[in-house]
Amino acid sequence: MIPLSVLDLSVVTTGTRPAHALQNSIDLARHVDGLGYVRYWLAEHHNLASVASPAPDLMIGQIAAVTKNIRVGSGGVMLPNHAPLVVAERFKMLEALFPGRIDLGLGRAPGTDGATAHALRSRLDRREGDDFLERLSELVLWETRGFPAGHPYNNVVAMPDDTPLPPIWLLGSSDYSSELAAQVGMGFAFAHHFASYDAIAAMTNYRSHFKPSGWREGPHGILAVAAVAAETDAEAEQLATSMDLNRLRRDRGQYLPLPSVEEALAYNYTDSERASIARNRSRFFVGSPATIMAKLQPMITASQPDELMIITAVYDHDARKKSYGLLADAFGLNKKVAA
């Protein structure tokens, strides 16, 4: 069976304040570590009322400290928001503290609106446009010490200098990151849960064009999907109504805390809103474990991911933990842990 991982947004709900959402993330990480999930990634978002964590590196350290086996990483660090040296230093520190358990996932987007992105970068530099590739190249040079002769950075060392950077993963929702990850020989994670680009094409392109590198000898593709599992299809469908209303609001630019099931069920949807929800549901996998497996299997077979990363954003924290437990059983993770 394919390995399972977790992508966590530290979801804020109308009944869960941001500080408690961060504690829920730590609790969920402990839970899935015991279930046999192989990876736990934390996202970076800013100025979003529905996401509590703008600093995945801080959460990585907290979670790695209270778990035993699971790898912990960023899904991802939004590289446009950070000086590459700062990223190198922080993740080398994490790798030194938790050797062999840290991942560095990198994204191209700012993870926020334009005004907040400007506030994040206004004291860093004045570069305009998409400078992701430039920043990625600089990050790699901090690791390889490959700056040209006479470059001012030749005398700057990213500490701790006896610890390598953890494995680098490029995140994407289009063909750009899949092609770049293949060319530079890094891991790749595709965000099916919000992508308009075809996941099968992205994963196939990455695998077929991968070039071995000092980072990775062979391709490793992660497919990230949104899923809500419950004992029955009806129960899962009800849990997912919070996600439906939240997504509808986000499409309108309303980034509010995740609503309760009761609020979502009481909402008076128009026909066009129901049609929008139906379109969004084409990206989600909702139901009993058997139903979700049946829906997921064709995509897994076609895209051939090395790993499936699950994001479950529901109102009730216990229901979220149970969803991950049911999927662990369905994919046989508990049997692997017992063995």
Question: Is 268 among the domain residues?
Answer: no
pLDDT, tens digit (0-9, with 9 covering 90-100), for 23-43: 999 999 999 999 999 999 999
pLDDT attached to residue 334: 73
Domain of 21 in residue numbering reads as: 4-236+284-338
Q: Count structural domains, the chain.
A: 1
Question: Is 259 among the domain residues?
Answer: no
| CATH number of the domain enclosing 74 | 3.20.20.30
This model's pTM is above 0.75: yes
pLDDT, tens digit (0-9, with 9 covering 90-100), for 86-136: 999 999 999 999 999 999 999 987 666 777 777 777 655 556 667 899 999
How many Cα neighbours within 13 Å face the side chain of 65?
A: 9
For residue 39, what are the β-bridge partners? 5, 71
pLDDT, tens digit (0-9, with 9 covering 90-100), for 41-72: 999 998 889 999 999 999 999 999 999 999 99
CB atoms inside a 10 Å sphere around CB 213 = 11
Mean pLDDT of the 264-277 span: 95
Question: Is 278 among the domain residues?
Answer: no
Ranges of beta strands (E only) in the chain are 4-8, 39-42, 71-74, 77-78, 102-107, 168-172, 187-191, 221-229, 284-287, 307-311
For residue 172, what are the β-bridge partners? 190
pLDDT attached to residue 125: 59
Question: How far apart (Å, rounded) are the C-alpha atoms in residues 225 and 192?
Answer: 5
Question: Is 207 among the domain residues?
Answer: yes
Question: Is 257 among the domain residues?
Answer: no
Pairing verdict, β 77-78 and 284-287: unpaired
Q: Where are the alpha helices (DSSP H) in 67-190?
A: 84-97, 114-121, 132-144, 175-184
